[in-house]
Amino acid sequence: MRVSTFWELMAHEFGAGYCRVLAQDLVLSEVGERTATEALDAGVDPKTVWFAVCRAQEVPESRWWGPDQPPRG
């Protein structure tokens, strides 16, 4: 996943404004006790960060791949 896709998914799920706040404030244990922004800046795979955000925010798995996309295995 590209970083741009990460931000598209974040904006779709949480809104264009709030997604940036969430990425800067929510500390994710799955990526080394970093925020999403810190993890991306450190080179963590955007897909790993996205899934960590989804789990932390209890986003249903059916929405992890974005709008109108079937869940992947």
Residues 6+ apart with CB under 8 A from 34: 27, 28, 42, 44
pLDDT for position 67: 73
3-state secondary structure of 34: strand
Q: pTM, whole model, 2 decimals?
A: 0.88
Cα(71)–Cα(37) distance, integer angstroms: 25
pLDDT for position 65: 87
Q: Which residues of the chain have pLDDT under 50?
A: none
